[in-house]
Structure 1
Amino acid sequence: MKKYEVMYIIRPEVEETERNNLIEEVNQVFTKNESTVTKVSEWGLRELAYEIDNCTKGYYVLLNVEATPKAVAEFNHIANIKEAIIRHIVVAD
């Protein structure tokens, strides 16, 4: 398995309970696919460098994972579908 850094930004208007459920759902995407989440860093609400989908702020979440290619592909698929996630990126570590 390769190591990856996964960052995604959640819309600022998402309520805390929904946001926590979304973070847990993303973590489960990796754990269900024989991968491990080694670190979860919630950076919190931050100003965006430029406006994205009429948002000037976003809730940043950074994950360090050891993942299979299947887990990364499933994360990308889910991040594209979820409207609460306005941006995401996966970088091989």
Structure 2
Amino acid sequence: MYILKPDLGEEQTQADIDRFNEVITAQNATITKVDKWGRRKLAYEINKLTEGFYMLVTFEGAGDIANEITRVLKIHDDVVRSIVVRLDE
């Protein structure tokens, strides 16, 4: 899951989503589900922002993929917060 800045335009938001999906697929992972939750109010203020654009991406992959995705999300300026969790079957 990641949260993008709410003040991005529709084109920039979609470009960021596409970029992060490409990072996932470049790591030999399969995206099983992409949920655009849309613009929602944050639980608390982050960097003077009270809203964010929520994205939930479910994928399957092996190896060190979670570390690479976390690294990419942390260095991108449009990402407010992100978390990668492993789901048990």
TM-score (norm 2): 0.93
* Displacement of 1:80: 0.7
Q: Which amino acid aligns with 2:61?
A: A
Of Structure 1 and Structure 2, which has the larger fraction of its residues in strand?
A: 1
For the residue of structure 2 that corresponds to 1:31, the secondary structure is helix
Looking at structure 2, the residues matched to 81 and 69 of structure 1 have their Cα atoms a distance apart, in angstroms, of 21
Partner of residue 82, structure 1: 76
The total of aligned residue pairs comes to 87
Return the match for 1:56 from 50, 68, 71. 50
Structure 2 unaligned regions, length at least 5: none
Structure 1's consecutive aligned runs of 4 or more residues displaced over 2 angstroms after TM superposition are 68-71
Unaligned runs of 5+ in 1: 1-6
Amino acid in structure 1 at the alignment position of 2:47: D
| Aligned match of 2:62 | 68
For residues 21 and 64 of structure 2, what CA distance do their matches in structure 1 show? 14
